């Protein structure tokens, strides 16, 4: 099976566009030509009529706004993909569903506004699972199209892996950034809950939803974070951080091969001078998993109540089941789940402070990307960190015999997004050293 994996780094591309050594029109032509070649196989973007005409018109307006290369913003002309649950002017939103686009009408997403302000052009909407849940869309994995790209931000991860866009936007409610990024061999970053405004995002679960990013490498991610996260202040590296591995039933959710790959990464980091300790965390992981599912299903039902009664025949069995599951969750259970989010976040923060822990290290996924497109894979390695609202990042870390990548998930304390990105580059370099 052919691989279509050819990610593009953002810094050099953005520099060429700002300086004018690469014309906007020429760049657009290159990207659209690549899309013609790979999109019939990858299906990372929602089809759009007259995409080229729209982009050339927007590029001309951008050049007129910034004629002087020295005054151009950091993402001048960079083509960005936006997950199809986030609203973009002139582009319909369908949230990967069969519902009519007018259902999702509303103001443009705050993250889209930030990217446009930084000079980015919106290449288009990226495919996602239905309502960002479990029903897969058409997207395949660029590393091997016979395997899932993960979900729910399927198209966003695949578009970066295939080199169509150097930057895409996704959302995560359980594992929808970390899992597809790991499956597709790219960088995925879910900031701390609330660091990016959810304005203009069609909600799955307001208590868990978080906007995040996909890029080819960490230098690209640092640029994106500085643009997309409010009050972002670049952090410098100090000494090697003390890291912890959760020594509990949480890790047993990963299959033996994933655990073996993870142990190799930990061994490399210890050999590289990292102090890595085991720490008890998530002693009752099944209870936590169930609590998170109760919370997000209840909020999903609330968000879809109006639409479901009018368009129930357009909902997949997956979405219908989740909707009905959410109706059975009591107000008291939902309230308790929301309270437990804050309690868990405080408990993790206290444990980190008491033991001098700066980062947690775990497998990004329970295994590499499964074959077939009927499922987007298991989300459980990301679930507790998403529930607690902590910033998480996945970097490629080794490969299975079939060539598909494993990922290393790195987690920081709440609000320490800048610290997480500052340390990640050295960690990635060590775990991928031969």
The encoded tokens of residue 122 equal 């919106």
* Pair 191, 391: CB distance under 8 Å: yes
Sequence-separated (6 or more) residues with CB below 8 Å from residue 369: 141, 143, 144, 147, 148, 149, 150, 183, 184, 377, 404
* Pair 159, 45: CB distance under 8 Å: yes
Catalytic residues: 83, 152, 176
Length of the chain: 434
User: Is 310 exposed, middle or buried, given 0-12, 13-18 or 19+ CB atoms closer than 10 A?
Assistant: exposed
Instruction: For the chain, state the CA radius of gyration.
Output: 21
Strand partners, 80: 122, 167
* Pair 212, 389: CB distance under 8 Å: no
The rounded distance, in Å, linking the Cα atoms of 408 and 269 is 12
The rounded distance, in Å, linking the Cα atoms of 405 and 82 is 24
Neighbours of 283 (CB within 10 A): 11
Please spell the DSSP secondary structure of 361-410, one letter per residue.
EEESSSSSPPBSSS-----TTTHHHHHHT--EEEEEEEE-TTSPEEEEEE
User: Is 31 exposed, middle or buried, given 0-12, 13-18 or 19+ CB atoms closer than 10 A?
Assistant: buried
């Amino acid at each position: 099976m052919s691989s279509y994996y050819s990610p593009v780094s953002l810094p050099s591309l953005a520099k060429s566009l700002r300086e004018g050594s690469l014309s906007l029109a020429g760049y657009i032509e290159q990207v659209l030509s690549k899309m013609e070649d790979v999109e019939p196989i990858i299906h990372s973007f929602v089809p759009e009529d007259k995409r080229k005409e729209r982009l050339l018109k927007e590029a001309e307006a951008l050049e007129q706004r910034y004629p002087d290369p020295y005054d151009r913003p950091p993402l001048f002309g960079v083509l960005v993909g936006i997950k199809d649950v986030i609203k973009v002017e002139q582009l319909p939103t369908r949230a990967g569903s069969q519902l009519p686009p007018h259902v999702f009408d509303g103001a443009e997403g705050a993250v889209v506004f930030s990217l446009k302000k930084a000079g980015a052009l919106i290449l288009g909407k990226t495919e996602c699972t239905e309502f960002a849940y479990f029903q897969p869309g058409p997207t395949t994995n660029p590393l091997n199209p016979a395997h899932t790209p993960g979900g729910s931000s399927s198209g966003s991860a695949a578009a970066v892996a295939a080199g169509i866009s150097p930057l895409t936007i996704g959302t995560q409610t359980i594992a929808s950034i970390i899992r597809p990024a790991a499956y597709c061999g790219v960088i995925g970053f879910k900031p701390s809950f609330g660091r990016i405004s959810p304005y203009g995002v069609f909600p799955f679960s307001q208590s868990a939803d978080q906007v995040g990013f996909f890029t080819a490498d960490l230098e690209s991610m640092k640029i994106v974070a500085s643009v997309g996260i409010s009050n972002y202040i670049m952090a410098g590296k100090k000494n090697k951080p003390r890291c912890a591995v959760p020594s509990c039933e949480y890790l047993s959710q990963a299959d033996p091969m994933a655990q073996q790959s993870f142990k190799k990464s930990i061994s490399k980091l210890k050999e590289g001078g990292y102090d890595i300790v085991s720490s008890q965390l998530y002693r009752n992981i099944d209870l936590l998993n169930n609590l998170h599912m109760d919370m997000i299903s209840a909020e999903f039902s609330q968000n879809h109540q109006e639409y479901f009664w009018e368009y129930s025949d357009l909902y997949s069995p997956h979405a219908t089941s989740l909707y009905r599951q959410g109706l059975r969750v009591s107000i008291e259970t939902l309230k308790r789940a929301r309270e437990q989010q804050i309690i868990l976040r405080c408990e993790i923060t206290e444990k980190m402070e008491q033991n001098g822990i700066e980062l947690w290290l775990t497998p990004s996924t329970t295994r590499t990307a499964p074959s077939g497109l009927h499922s987007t894979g298991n989300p459980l390695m990301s679930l507790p960190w998403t529930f607690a609202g902590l910033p998480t990042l996945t970097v490629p870390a080794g490969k299975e015999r079939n060539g598909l990548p494993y990922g290393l998930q790195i987690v920081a304390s709440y609000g320490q997004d800048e610290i997480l990105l500052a340390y990640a580059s050295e960690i990635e370099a060590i775990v991928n050293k031969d």
